[in-house]
């Protein structure tokens, strides 16, 4: 090859020859071994400090002998431990590491704060929401849910009367609407409710509970024509049923071997619960 083209290519090869040299020694000299050693020492020292702090915290928890609850107070949200997706939490700081007796005392303190709020002359719903943020004690959950759902009045003196009036009102709604399930206009909606209920294992071989769910869902749908019944609404009803029924009985739903008296008592509790979860 000759001419200007060959001379230009030869000049290009000379100028770019260093690009193709596979020698990494110049890059290795950039990082100083002393810098690497100092960085490693800093990391190890930081780890030792964090471990010492964690051990001191564990020792302080073990030395706590009792927890005394006086004048229940409610702390603002910003003073609660902050958690968010992606934020690491040390396992040593977990509540599961508390001694059992100490944890029971803490639970009793929470229950006392809930009771003080619920039984005050006028329940402060803002305080109740704040207390409920980290969970509601099981024994108080039915009452707390009803208060937060605006089903119970904030005045304890009016709750018995209001509950009685609402149960009577629900009975009137059943008389007013439930017979319309056979109406050609509403029959498809009732059929969809029945289809959804057949898939609920909670209701398996419990005709009284199936009938209760049918009444609640159909009456609710008739009173909310804007949305009506949509497939899956029955699943929204289930947690309310479980929580509100627990207020009256802790009997497990497996009642096939129970006495007739127990079954009748259970049915009575179900009927009271039914009126409490239909709005």
Q: Is residue 17 a part of any domain in this protein?
A: no
Q: Taking a C-beta distance cutoff of 8 angstroms, is the pair 154, 147 a contact?
A: yes
- Note whether 140 and 172 are same-domain residues: no
Q: Give the domain range for residue 188.
A: 158-277
- Note whether 184 and 268 are same-domain residues: yes
pLDDT at 123 over 50: yes
Side-chain half-sphere CA neighbours of 39 within 13 A: 6
Domain boundary residue, one of 99, 116, 148: 148
| pLDDT tens track for 164-177 | 999 999 999 999 99
What distance in Å separates the CA atoms of residue 116 and residue 72, rounded to the nearest whole number? Answer: 8
pTM: 0.56
What distance in Å separates the CA atoms of residue 92 and residue 57, rounded to the nearest whole number? Answer: 9
Q: Is 249 left (phi over 0), alpha (psi -120 to 50) or beta?
A: beta
Question: Which tokens belong to 206?
Answer: 């419990």
- Note whether 201 and 111 are same-domain residues: no
Question: Which tokens belong to 108?
Answer: 């009793």
What distance in Å separates the CA atoms of residue 244 and residue 30, rounded to the nearest whole number? Answer: 70
pLDDT category at 77 given cuts 50, 70, 90 is very low
Side-chain half-sphere CA neighbours of 236 within 13 A: 10
Q: What CATH number is attached to the domain comprising 166?
A: 1.10.8
**What pLDDT shows up at residue 49?**
77
| pLDDT tens track for 197-235 | 998 887 777 888 899 999 999 999 999 999 899 989 999
In the chain, beta strands by DSSP E: none
CA-based radius of gyration for the chain: 34
Question: How many domains does the structure of the chain reveal?
Answer: 2
């Amino acid at each position: 090859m000759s001419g200007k083209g060959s001379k230009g290519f030869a000049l290009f090869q000379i100028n770019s020859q260093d690009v193709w040299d596979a020698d990494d020694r110049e890059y290795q000299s950039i990082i100083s071994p002393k810098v690497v050693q100092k960085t490693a020492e800093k990391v190890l020292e930081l780890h030792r400090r964090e471990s010492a702090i964690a051990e001191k915290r564990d020792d302080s928890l073990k030395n706590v002998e009792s927890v005394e609850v006086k004048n229940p107070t409610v702390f603002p949200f910003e003073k609660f431990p902050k958690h968010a997706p992606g934020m690491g939490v040390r396992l040593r700081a977990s509540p599961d590491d508390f001694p059992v007796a100490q944890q029971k005392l803490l639970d009793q303190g929470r229950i006392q704060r809930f009771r003080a709020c619920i039984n005050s002359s006028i329940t402060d719903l803002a305080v109740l929401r704040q207390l409920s943020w980290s969970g509601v004690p099981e024994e108080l959950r039915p009452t707390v849910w009803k208060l937060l759902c605006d089903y119970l009045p904030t005045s304890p003196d009016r709750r018995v009367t209001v509950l009685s009036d609402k149960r009577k009102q629900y009975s009137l709604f059943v008389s007013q609407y439930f017979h319309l399930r056979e109406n050609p206009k509403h029959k498809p909606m009732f059929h969809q409710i029945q289809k959804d209920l057949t898939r609920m294992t909670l209701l398996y071989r419990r005709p009284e509970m199936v009938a209760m769910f049918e009444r609640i869902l159909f009456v609710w749908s008739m009173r909310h024509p804007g949305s009506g019944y949509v497939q899956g609404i029955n699943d929204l009803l289930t947690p309310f049923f479980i929580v509100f029924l627990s207020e009256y009985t802790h009997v497990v739903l497996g009642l096939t071997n129970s006495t007739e008296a127990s079954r009748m008592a259970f049915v009575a509790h179900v009927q009271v619960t039914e009126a409490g979860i239909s709005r």
